[in-house]
Structure 1
Amino acid sequence: MPLSVRQPVIVVGASLVGLSAALCLAKHNVPTVVLEKHASISKHPRAIGFTSRTIEIYRGLGIADQIPEVPKDFHLRRARVESMTGKWFDSTSWSDTPTADQSKKSLQEGSPPKKQYSPSRGAAMPQDQLEAILQAAAIERGVEIRRQHKVINVEQDLNGVTVTVVDPQDKEIQIQGAYLIAADGCRSTIRELLQIPRYGRGHMQTMRSVLFRAPLDQYMQGVHQFTIDQPDLKAFLTTYSDGRWVLMFYDDIERDEPTLRSKIHQAIGRSDLPVDIITTGRWDLTALVADTFQSGRIFLAGDAAHTLPPNRGGYGANTGIHDVDNLAWKLAAVLSRQSSPALLDTYDAERRPVALLRHDQIFTRADYKVHLDQATPAGKKLDDDAMEFGQLYLSDGVIGVDETLPRALKPDEWAGQPGTHVPHFWVSRDGETVSILDVVGQDAWTLVSGMEDWEDVTAQVNRGSSVKVKHICIGRDVRFADAGSFQVALGLSATGAALLRPDGYIAWRTKEMPAEPAKCLDDVVAQVAFRVNQHRG
């Protein structure tokens, strides 16, 4: 059987998560080949909401300027209606958490505005349009994308992974790599070949949908999502804000085109508007998390690892994008021999609990409470900002965390807790105000402090070390430009420091400078970066 290519990393799946994985790896100079069974990007837009944390990741990849953020005054609202042009029963905000409602009430009463946890506002771009941006950027950066390549087998040994695929000419070929990322969706071929079971609420229902174009903007009244509530039509109608709409049916009934057109008119409440049907869809509403996200040299990401149904927290595609942001720098560190392969074990330890928490949080929210059963009891609903910006990582790659800590809090409540992402705050650099997120992390380990003495400490550690640490001194390299102080934001004294990983997560913190700072920092880097060369020069 011919061997067509060998790359350090094979990515299976060229949708949002697979393409994001390839871009994250390209950022770290890791060549990849992406295998995709479909011939082109799906005609169905599918996801549309991309969170602030996701846009932060795309900022780091240099493509956020191609993704329009939602306007500052934009508030996503949902209405329960008889039809768009008929009777409206009630409307609610996109978020149904009490804290969000309280924040809105505070704004109405003239209280201080809600704290800004990110420099990004999130985006409401249809998935097919975002995938086109990701694909173009990946190709431009040297990623090889092979479409119409269907995986039929995968094998691995101590030296690498071999994937057998059927190419567009129906020939079987083998592709080899050091590692493989399975981003091939909820029906993942890779996961099935590895026989990795899944846990969770499971299958809830099968749904049908129809994608269409129609001139409906004048009937929206500032609302983008509509729950259609009629005796003979229970459905969900939403817009992709580009002239396309999707009507989702809570059943598994196949309808012909005249019937679909009739149902669309029924949901609109008018039959005299032009409707152009684009395509139909059929999908399972399922909540399942794989029992492990790693099998040797193979890693599950996105829906292959966790199938989370569409919800107001945006846990589906966004969670998968966050997966590969976590994994890519670790693969790069191991492939470049800076870190030992043990670093890769932290991927499952960090990302699987996030998926499990998000699985459980879905069923604390209004949309999915109806699907609760004895196997999925109601839990405590956590704040949206805590879930988006303040989920905690517990792994051997973080010092200063334990199981007694909450699974998620808002960034200001964490105040620089190791295992959480560095909180956003504004700094001034070269006369320009930027987020600290644009200064630290990105592609390197970073020590953040307000004391210049740490500069010599990092220089000592870097001599003879396979893992290099850059030092950012607040007050010298950048100036704190936000309210309060960065010491409060990171929980430090004037002499303390925080060590950030390439993905911006805090791996370690010392509130004050220790007695032997160089030895201390060197030992910390050796531990949290799983450094191969532990000799200190």
Structure 2
Amino acid sequence: MSHTPVLIVGGSLVGLSASVFLAWRGIPHILVEKHSGSSTHPRAMGYTETTLEHYRTVGIADRIPQTPQNFRLRRVKASSLAGEWQGEQAWTPGEADTHNTGLSPNTGAAIAQDKLEPILRMAALEFGADLRYSTELLHFEDRGDSIVAQLRDRNVGRDYAISADYMIATDGADSPIRERLGIAREGVGNIRTVRSVLFKCQEADQYLASGVQQFEIEQKNLRAFLTTYNDSRWLLMFIDDIERSDDELRIAIRRALGRDMAFDIITTGRWEMAGRIARHYRKGRVFLAGDAAHQLPPTRGGFGANTGIDDVWNLAWKLQRVLESSSNATLLDTYDDERRPIGWLRHQQTFSRPDYVKWVNSDFKADPLFSNEAMELGQIVRSSAVLGAGLELPPAASPTDWQGQPGTRAPHVWVATAAGDVISSLDLLGREFVLFAVEPAWQMAADAMKLKFVHINHEICFSEPDTFAAIFGVRQQGAVLIRPDGIIAWRSNNAAEDGGVEELKIAFNQVAASPC
């Protein structure tokens, strides 16, 4: 029986992202997917700046077409695509649709999932991943010290077994792995069943010139949602669970388009709109990620796919450190501590928005809505791998308000290197823990603990001398410790000579679950 450090079950968007992140970190693993490739239905479409930052760190963001700086997702109510447009709806109600483009080195991306997945597959293979499509998980057992999985190669009908130190379940909302583990879910539950038809219509693309991509179609006897994948593929979603014949689908498409246009039906879909969050994201040596952990409907904030990609970004560096014996296995407990509250936050934000609150039961208590910036770039995580992220702090806020708060994403700012290159401060992160400081005395402490040290105003320079202190919320003599996933783990206002070094040692040993 062969052995792998990590077994990933599910080779769609989140599973592939997990494979890319692990392979980039040099962690051998096997990914299995029962299907032969990507779904014929494009499914997810929009990816946030945070997701692109993860792909940037591993060096593949430039393979993904990104949206222009001034891009914003726009939706209108309309009698039809070619008919009267009755008014534009805000992304987040009550918030202007302006976007602060200075918060990230990347924009988002509007690329269909079936076009993004091949990019991820290629990257994973280049990094050394073992991807096994048409391979089905038949059974698994957590033996305490390992996972033993029974697999079937569906191409040849051969069954075989492998063992793994850990398993990541990215096997979808119906997750057989989650069900086998007996992990219950909570949330608003089933909202309704949605039917859709995917079709190709080049002539309809002319209506995208104004920048509107989503259309709520309201006609007598036709209420539907029309959107595009920006490649002449269009999706018409119905608000009912009625099976329509090809002729009925064609009639509905023509009515939604508003005038006679040539089109070809590609496929149809049927899926459950629901909100369910797993009560545990980990059991034993198995981790849930993506839809297996949190089932959320499509939103204009991209709370489905992007949340799953962020799950495995959070998990990958922790698995690396534990597998390499740089950290105790207790570090893996922080995955559930950090990611489940994020899943629940996004559940509440999804169903508190007017798009969905009208569909939930009356006993649902809506939460105040956070801004786009807060939800995309300003969520906070709390666990033993973060020092100073108290419960009194809000679950999300604009990055400009956080100012280096531990538990939040390290801020982006353009900096100049000693060689004269201009890079993002985020480009210095990703592989390992990093200590940022102005005072050179912190260098000795970093070296003693084998931390990467970034000497501010020497290795990199900000446009203004006091920028470091301002964006990280510390005094000039202080220091900031950033985790491999770009989350601020700890910061200090003490100088290295005034107790800062000992404070750093204690902090690092805790947040890294150091075995020393």
TM-score range, shorter-chain basis? over 0.9
Deviations 1:90-139 (A, max 9, x none): 1224x2243334x47xxxxxxxxx46211111000000000010011111
Q: 3-state SS of the aligned residue for 1:284?
A: strand
Tell me what 1:495 maps to. Answer: 477
Q: 1:352 aligns with which of 336, 340, 359?
A: 340
Q: For residue 482 of structure 1, report the CA deviation from its aligned partner.
A: 6.5
Identity of aligned residues (%): 44
Are 1:99 and 2:101 matched, yes or no?
A: no
Deviations 1:243-264 (A, max 9, x none): 1111111111111212111111
- 1:66 and 1:167 map into 2 onto residues whose CA distance is 31
Q: 3-state SS of the aligned residue for 2:22?
A: helix
- 2:96 and 2:431 map into 1 onto residues whose CA distance is 34
Tell me what 1:108 maps to. Answer: none
Q: For residue 470 of structure 1, report the CA deviation from its aligned partner.
A: 0.8
Are 1:276 and 2:264 matched, yes or no?
A: yes
Tell me what 2:312 maps to. Answer: 324
Q: 3-state SS of the aligned residue for 1:212?
A: strand
Tell me what 2:9 maps to. Answer: 12
| TM-score (normalised: structure 1) | 0.93
Contact 1:208-1:252 within 8 A present in 2 as well: yes
RMSD: 1.5
Tell me what 2:38 maps to. Answer: 41
Tell me what 2:57 maps to. Answer: 60
Contact 1:161-1:176 within 8 A present in 2 as well: yes
Q: 1:478 aligns with which of 460, 479, 486?
A: 460
- 1:286 and 1:482 map into 2 onto residues whose CA distance is 48
- 2:34 and 2:77 map into 1 onto residues whose CA distance is 39
**Amino acid corresponding to residue 89 of structure 1 in structure 2:** Q
Tell me what 1:372 maps to. Answer: 360
Q: What are the residue-to-residue correspondences of 1:81-480 with 2, within 5 Å? A: 81-93=78-90, 95-101=91-97, 103=98, 114=100, 116-168=102-154, 169-214=156-201, 215-220=203-208, 221-271=210-260, 273-429=261-417, 430-439=419-428, 441-460=429-448, 462=449, 468-480=450-462
Deviations 1:150-182 (A, max 9, x none): 222211122211112222133332221100000
Distance 1:97 1:490, change over 3 A: farther
Deviates more, 1:159-168 or 1:496-505: 159-168
**Amino acid corresponding to residue 26 of structure 2 in structure 1:** N
Q: 3-state SS of the aligned residue for 1:279?
A: strand
Q: 3-state SS of the aligned residue for 2:273?
A: strand
Deviates more, 1:478-487 or 1:378-387: 478-487
| TM-score (normalised: structure 2) | 0.96
Deviates more, 1:70-79 or 1:196-205: 70-79
Q: 3-state SS of the aligned residue for 2:50?
A: helix
Tell me what 2:494 maps to. Answer: 512
Are 1:23 and 2:12 matched, yes or no?
A: no
Q: 3-state SS of the aligned residue for 1:287?
A: strand
Tell me what 1:110 maps to. Answer: none
- 1:528 and 1:91 map into 2 onto residues whose CA distance is 46
Q: 3-state SS of the aligned residue for 1:98?
A: coil
Deviates more, 1:55-64 or 1:474-483: 474-483
- 1:500 and 1:186 map into 2 onto residues whose CA distance is 33
Contact 1:211-1:277 within 8 A present in 2 as well: yes
- 1:40 and 1:69 map into 2 onto residues whose CA distance is 24
- 2:309 and 2:296 map into 1 onto residues whose CA distance is 13
**Amino acid corresponding to residue 236 of structure 2 in structure 1:** L
- 2:251 and 2:13 map into 1 onto residues whose CA distance is 33
Contact 1:79-1:92 within 8 A present in 2 as well: yes
Deviations 1:361-417 (A, max 9, x none): 112212112023244211111111111111111101111122111111111211111
**Amino acid corresponding to residue 164 of structure 1 in structure 2:** Q
- 1:55 and 1:171 map into 2 onto residues whose CA distance is 38
Q: 3-state SS of the aligned residue for 1:476?
A: coil
Contact 1:37-1:149 within 8 A present in 2 as well: yes
- 1:171 and 1:415 map into 2 onto residues whose CA distance is 55
Q: For residue 484 of structure 1, report the CA deviation from its aligned partner.
A: 6.4
Q: 3-state SS of the aligned residue for 1:162?
A: strand
* Structure 1 residue ranges without an equivalent (≥5): 105-113, 463-467
Contact 2:480-2:492 within 8 A present in 1 as well: yes
How many residues are paired up?
511
